C-alpha cells in the first residue's frame, strides 16, 4: 500500500502544479492585453517623415545613413531578461549568429539573457540593457543614438535588427528588419527635383535629422512588439507545460487504479487461500 500512496501523492502534487500553471497563464494573458493597450501609436508622425523623405532623391545624397560607407554589418538581437519563454531568446540569438556567419559584423545584444547566450557560444558582443516597460522610449532613443554614432564613425554600414514579433497571444515569429541604410518605398515618379528648392540647410543634414527621428520610432515599435512577444511566449510555454502535466496526471491515475485493482485482487486471493486452509483444518 505504501507504493500506492506514493502514486496518490504524485497525483495530488501534479494537480496542485496544474492549478498554479492555470493562475500563471491568467497573469500572462492579462499582462499581454494590458501592455497592448499601453503601446503608443506614432503612425501619423512616421508616415509624415517617410513621405517627406520619399519625395527626396535619396540616391543623390551621400550620407552613411543612406549610402553605407562600410561593408560591416551591425546585428541587433533583442532578447528578454525574463524566464519561462520556451526558447524564444535562443531563437533570436541563433538567427543573429546565422546573419553574422554570412558576413563580417558586430553583434549588439539587448537583454541580459542574450548576452549570456552569446558568451556561452564564445561570441563577443556589445551589451544594451533589457527592455523595460517604464523606459521603453528612452531605451529606444539610447539604442538609436548608439547605432547612428557607429554608422557615422564607419564601424558598420548596415544595421539589421532581429526580434520576436507577437502577432497575437498564440502567434509569435522571429522577424528581421534592416534599419540602416534608410530606403524609401515611394514611387520614383512622386519624387521632387531637389534643384527646384532653396534649402535652408544642406539636404544631407535634413535627411540625417529626419532619419534620426524616424529610427527612434521604429526601434520603439520593435521594443513594444518584442515585449508583447514575451507575454505571448510565456503563455504558450505554460500552455505546453499544462498539456504535458495533464498527460502525466492521466498516466498516474491509470497506474494508481491499476495498482489498487491488483492489490484488491491479491487481498481477495489471500483471503480465499486462508479460508481454504481454515476449512481443511476443520
| 187: pLDDT strictly greater than 60 | no
Residue 250 CB partners (closer than 8 Å, separation 6+): none
| H or E segment and range at residue 167 | strand 158-168
Phi-psi region of 55 (alpha: psi -120 to 50; beta: other; left: phi over 0): alpha
Domains in the chain: ranges and CATH: 43-237 (3.40.1380.10)
Q: Give the C-alpha separation, 271 to 74, whole Å.
A: 79
pLDDT of residue 79: 93
Burial of 226 per CB tally in 10 Å (0-12, 13-18, 19+): buried
pLDDT of residue 71: 92
Model pLDDT for residues 11-24, shown as the tens digit of each residue: 778 788 888 888 98
Contact 158, 68 (CB under 8 A): yes
Query: Up-side HSE of residue 196: CA atoms within 13 Å toward CB?
Result: 6
Question: From residue 103, how far is each of 65, 70, 147 by CA, in Å?
Answer: 19, 12, 18
| 2: pLDDT strictly greater than 50 | no
- 3-class secondary structure, 125: coil
Task: Please report, to the nearest 10 degrees, the dihedral formed by the alpha carbons of residues 50, 54, 60, 65 taken in order.
Answer: 20
Across the chain, mean pLDDT equals 83
Question: From residue 189, how far is each of 182, 198, 210, 258 by CA, in Å?
Answer: 19, 21, 21, 78
Q: Give the C-alpha separation, 156 to 38, whole Å.
A: 34
169: its cell numbers? 497571444
Residue 191 CB partners (closer than 8 Å, separation 6+): 54, 55, 56, 57
Model pLDDT for residues 26-55, shown as the tens digit of each residue: 998 998 888 888 887 777 777 888 777 777
Amino acid at each position: 500500500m505504501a507504493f500506492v500512496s506514493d502514486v496518490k501523492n504524485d497525483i495530488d502534487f501534479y494537480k496542485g502544479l496544474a492549478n498554479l500553471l492555470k493562475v500563471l497563464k491568467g497573469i500572462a494573458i492579462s499582462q499581454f492585453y494590458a501592455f497592448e493597450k499601453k503601446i503608443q501609436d506614432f503612425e501619423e508622425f512616421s508616415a509624415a517623415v517617410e513621405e517627406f523623405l520619399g519625395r527626396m532623391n535619396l540616391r543623390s545624397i551621400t550620407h552613411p545613413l543612406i549610402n553605407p560607407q562600410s561593408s560591416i554589418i551591425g546585428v541587433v538581437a533583442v532578447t528578454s531578461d525574463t524566464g519561462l519563454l520556451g526558447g524564444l531568446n535562443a531563437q533570436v540569438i541563433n538567427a543573429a549568429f546565422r546573419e553574422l556567419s554570412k558576413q563580417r559584423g558586430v553583434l549588439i545584444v539587448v537583454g541580459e539573457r542574450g548576452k549570456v547566450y552569446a558568451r556561452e557560444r564564445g561570441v563577443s558582443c556589445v551589451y544594451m540593457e533589457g527592455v523595460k516597460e517604464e523606459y521603453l522610449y528612452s531605451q529606444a532613443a539610447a539604442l538609436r543614438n548608439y547605432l547612428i554614432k557607429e554608422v557615422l564613425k564607419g564601424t558598420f554600414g548596415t544595421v539589421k535588427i532581429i526580434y520576436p514579433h507577437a502577432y497575437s497571444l498564440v502567434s509569435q515569429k522571429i522577424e528581421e528588419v534592416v534599419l540602416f541604410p534608410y530606403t524609401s518605398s515611394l514611387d520614383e515618379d512622386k519624387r521632387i527635383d531637389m534643384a527646384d528648392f532653396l534649402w535652408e540647410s544642406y539636404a544631407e543634414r535634413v535627411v540625417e535629422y529626419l532619419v534620426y527621428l524616424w529610427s527612434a520610432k521604429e526601434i520603439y515599435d520593435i521594443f513594444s512588439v518584442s515585449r508583447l512577444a514575451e507575454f505571448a511566449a510565456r503563455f504558450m510555454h505554460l500552455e505546453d507545460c499544462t498539456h504535458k502535466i495533464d498527460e502525466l496526471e492521466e498516466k498516474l491515475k491509470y497506474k494508481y487504479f491499476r495498482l489498487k485493482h491488483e492489490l484488491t485482487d491479491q487481498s481477495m486471493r489471500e483471503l480465499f487461500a486462508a479460508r481454504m486452509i481454515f476449512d481443511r483444518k476443520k
